Chains A and B, each alone.
Chain A
Amino acid sequence: MLAVQNAHVEFRVAQTKKWPWSPAGVVHAVNGVSFDLEPGQTIGIVGESGCGKSTLIRSVAGLTPLASGTVTLDGERVQYDNRASMQRLRATMQMIFQDPIASLNPRMTIREIVTEPLSFFRPEMHIDKRKAAALAMLERVGIPPAQANRFPHEFSGGQCQRIGIARSLVAEPKVLLCDEPVSALDVSVQAQVVNLLKELQREMGLALVFVAHDLGVVRHISDEVLVMYMGAQMERAPAADLVRAPKHPYAQALLSAVPIPDPTVRIAPQMLEGDLPSPMELPPGCLFASRCPHAMTKCANAKPPMLHRDGHEAACFLLEDTPEELDASLEHH
Chain B
Amino acid sequence: MIGAVKRRLNSAAFADERAGEMVASRSFWADAGRRFLRNRMAVFSVGMLSVLILFAIVGNLFSRWSFEEIDWNVLGRIKEDGGPSLENGHWFGVDELGRDLYARVVQGTRTSLLVGFIAGPVSVLLGATLGALAGYYGGRFDRTVLGAYTIWLAIPYIIFFVVWQAFFGRSMSQMILVIILVNWTAGLLLVRGQVMMLKNREFVDAARMLGMSDFAIIFRHLAPNVLWVVVIYTSLVIPEVIMMESLVSFLGVGIQEPNTSLGALLSEGASTMTFGTLWQLGFPAAVFVLAQVSLFYIGDGLRDALDPKER
Which residues of A are interface residues toward B (Cβ below 8 A)? Answer: 58, 61-63, 83, 86-87, 90, 94-95, 97-99, 102-109, 116-117, 120-121, 146-147, 149-151, 153-154, 164, 167-168
* Residue pair A107, B25 in contact (C-beta under 8 Å): no
Contact A107 B209 (CB under 8 A): no
Do the beta carbons of A149 and B23 come within 8 Å of each other?
yes
**Inter-chain contact B24/A149, CB cutoff 8 Å:** yes
Tell me the bound Cα distance from A147 to B25 in angstroms.
9
Residue contact B210 to A103, C-beta cutoff 8 Å: no
Q: How far is the CA of A63 from the CA of B207 in the complex (A)?
A: 11
CB-defined contacts of B308 to chain A, threshold 8 Å: none
Give Cα distance in the complex from A117 to B209, angstroms: 9
Across the interface, do B210 and A146 meet the contact criterion of CB distance under 8 Å? no
Complex contact A61–B310 (CB within 8 A): no
Least distance between B260 CB and chain A CB atoms (Å): 44
Alpha-carbon distance between A95 and B208 when the two chains are bound, in angstroms? 11
Tell me whether B137 is interfacial, beta carbon within 8 Å: no
- From B27, B209, B225, B311, A105 is in contact (CB under 8 Å) with B225
Say if the beta carbon of B160 comes within 8 Å of chain A: no
Interface residues on B, range: 20 to 34
A117, B210: Cβ atoms under 8 Å? yes
Chain B residues within 8 Å of A58, by CB? 205
A88 shortest CB reach to chain B, Å: 10
- Contact indicator A94/B25 (Cβ below 8 Å): no
| B residues with CB within 8 A of A | 19, 23-25, 27-28, 201-203, 205-212, 221, 224-225, 310-311
A61: chain B residues at CB < 8 Å are 209
Contact B210 A90 (CB under 8 A): yes
Known contacts A87-B211, A120-B211, A106 near B310 by CB under 8 Å: yes
Instruction: Give the chain A neighbours of B203 by CB distance below 8 A.
Output: 102-105
Cβ-closest 3 pairs across A and B: A103-B202, A97-B202, A107-B224
Select from chain B the residue with minimum beta-carbon distance to A167: B206
Among A87, A98, A120, the most chain B Cβ lie within 10 Å of the Cβ of: A120
Cβ–Cβ contact B202 & A106, under 8 A: no
Q: How far is the CA of A62 from the CA of B211 in the complex (A)?
A: 10
Residues of B within 8 A of A120 (CB): 210-212
Shortest Cβ distance from residue A168 to the other chain B in the assembled complex, whole angstroms: 8
B225:A90 contact, CB within 8 angstroms: no
Do the beta carbons of A102 and B23 come within 8 Å of each other? no
- Chain B residues with CB under 8 Å of A63's CB are 205, 208-209
Q: Say how far A7's CB is from chain B's closest CB, in angstroms.
A: 18
Nearest Cβ on chain A to B231's Cβ, whole angstroms: 13
A62 / chain B contacts, CB cutoff of 8 Å: 208
Known: A90-B210, A94-B209, A116-B210. A153 touches B311 (CB 8 A): yes
